[in-house]
Amino acid sequence: MVDLGFRMHAERTPNPDSIKWVLGSPVAEAGVAASFEQPVDASTSPLAARLFGVRGIVGVFFASNFITVTKQSDVDWQDIGQDLVDAIRAHVDSGDVATGPDFEQQSSGLAGEIESRIREIIDAEIRPAVAMDGGDVVFAGYREGRVEVYLQGACAGCPSSTATLKFGIEARLREEIPEITEVVAL
């Protein structure tokens, strides 16, 4: 019997070491985005723990209905692709949540007027565009004209990340908020 309820496909990202797996149903709770650059146990994220169990995986990012997996550059996608599909399928079939009780989402604290405007632009315009390539941009802070962000998922370590940061994110924010002098990735 074929299970028509599970749907998933892979999409290439600008980072050759990252692939975005898009699922037909949510993988994370609304508003939750998680990025892991080293193995974690199931109490932090059952999903990430399962994916780090695949040989050569060095990064896991998930939000909404997609998972971006980053591999070591010396590992071939053809060698681990089926293992990743099996791990994702096993997670979905288990009914486990993506994040465990020890998970803490990154937050930058209270926002001033400029920070609120920055967050609004990042959340409404930049994050959806970057998510299409399997990544995310998380606002980390604003000080004296300098915006700090975390690049996650396919964006972390991507050869195009500098262009995305300077010509995409920085240009868009400076267009709306003249007080901004630069945007840097942490």
Write the DSSP string, the chain: ----S--EEEEE-SSTTEEEEEESS-SS-TT-EEEESS---TTT-HHHHHHHTSTTEEEEEEETTEEEEEE-TTS-HHHHHHHHHHHHHHHHHHT--SS-TT----------HHHHHHHHHIIIIIHHHHHTTTEEEEEEEEETTEEEEEEEETTTT-TTHHHIIIIIIIHHHHHH-TT--EEEE-
**Statement: residue 107 has pLDDT above 60:** no
Residues 33 and 139: their CA atoms lie apart, in Å, by 12
Give pLDDT, residue 164. 81
With a pLDDT cut of 90, the percent of the chain lying above it is: 44
Give pLDDT, residue 108. 46
Given the candidates 3.40.50.880, 1.20.1250.20, 3.90.650.10, 3.30.1370.70, the CATH classification of the domain at 8-94 is 3.30.1370.70
Give pLDDT, residue 4. 53
Residues 102 and 142: their CA atoms lie apart, in Å, by 27
Mean pLDDT across 90-108? 83
With a pLDDT cut of 70, the percent of the chain lying above it is: 94
**Statement: residue 106 has pLDDT above 80:** no
Token representation of residue 32: 């939750």
Query: What are the sequence ranges of the domains in the chain?
Result: 8-94, 113-185
Distances in Å between the Cα of 93 and the Cα atoms of 21, 81, 83, 122 are 16, 18, 15, 33
Residues 186 and 138: their CA atoms lie apart, in Å, by 10
Mean pLDDT across 150-166? 83
Who wins on pLDDT, 124 or 158?
Answer: 124
Residues 50 and 103: their CA atoms lie apart, in Å, by 15
| 113-185 topology per CATH | GMP Synthetase; Chain A, domain 3 (3.30.300)
